[in-house]
Structure formats: structure tokens, C-alpha cells
Structure 1
Amino acid sequence: MTESDVKNKIEAGLDCHSVTVAGDGYHFEATVVSSAFEGKRPVARQQMVYATVQEEIASGDLHAISLKTLTPAEAGL
């Protein structure tokens, strides 16, 4: 998978203000800003993002992803 692939999957599965992804093809770091995170605990936010890439994790195409999840206010937007 490419950084673009991961970004597109997250954006397709979650209404996001912004998504940035960096990685090496198997291990990625993503920062996701979404108003859908309002009022959600960090674990719930991460579960929302993991759900968008669950198939890739299950198939082994995506080995690991580290997430930073922010609301627009937390991101200063």
C-alpha cells in the first residue's frame, strides 16, 4: 500500500477535514481531523479510523498504523 492508498481509504470511510499519512508501505502514521470525533473518547476515535482500513489490516497489506485523531478545534481549524 502507498500513503495515498491509506489516505484515500480513510477519506472514503470517514468525513474528514484533513488526513495526512506517512509510511513505508507496511507501517504508517496518520493524522486525521474530523468533526465526527466531537464528544468521542480517544479509543472510539481510533476505532472509527481503523474501521476504514480493516480489510487491509486483515489481509496483511497494512501491517500497522499509528493514529493521531483530532477534532477541528483541537487541530486549530
Structure 2
Amino acid sequence: MGMAANEIERRILKALPDAIVEIRDLAGDGDHYAATVTSEAFRGKTRVQQHQMVNAAFGADMGTVLHSLALQTKAPD
């Protein structure tokens, strides 16, 4: 069983409370998602660091319960 989109959003917001999060189910199967995350916390960070910040919100569930999450991250304009 995959992770629901609202749970993905909840975990990202717990880790990055100021974030604007958009989730898309890529395959309609509840296992393959894409997320766009905008947060001031990303300012001055590399893309890799930004993705690590988001991925940390899922701990051991990343790659298991949450099978696939394609990320786009950025600081606000």
C-alpha cells in the first residue's frame, strides 16, 4: 500500500512549515508522485540540499511506503 497524497503533504509541511506544496499522482496508482515544494528554508541551499531536506521528512518510509517522489524545489521569488 502506498502513501496518500495528503500524508505526503502533511509530512513535508511538518518539516517545512512555511512550504507551499503541490502534489501530483503521476500514474494514478498511489505509488508514484511528483511534488513541487517552495520554501524560504531553501534559500542559499543547493538543489541536492533542498531535496535532502524534503526526503528527510519521510525517513525510512522513503523508497518503501513512499515508492517514488519526483521533486522540484525552490525558494520563493
Report if the CA contact (8 A) 1:17-1:72 is conserved: no
What is the aligned-residue identity percentage?
35
Query: TM-score, length-normalised on structure 2?
Result: 0.84
| Counterpart residue number, 2:9 | 7
- Return 5+ residue gaps in structure 2 as ranges: none
How far apart are residue 30 of structure 1 and its match? 0.4
2:65 to 58, 61, 64: 61
Equivalenced residue count is 72
1:20-70 CA distance string (max 9 Å, x none): 111231111000010000000000000000000123225x11011100001
Aligned CA-pair RMSD: 1.3
Alignment of 1:1-77 (within 5 A): 1-23=3-25, 24-57=29-62, 60-73=64-77
How far apart are residue 16 of structure 1 and its match? 2.9
Mean Cα deviation higher: 35-44 or 12-21 = 12-21
Query: TM-score, length-normalised on structure 1?
Result: 0.84
Structure 1 stretches of 4+ with a deviation exceeding 6 A read: none
- Return 5+ residue gaps in structure 1 as ranges: none
C-alpha separation in 2, matches of 1:17 and 1:67: 13
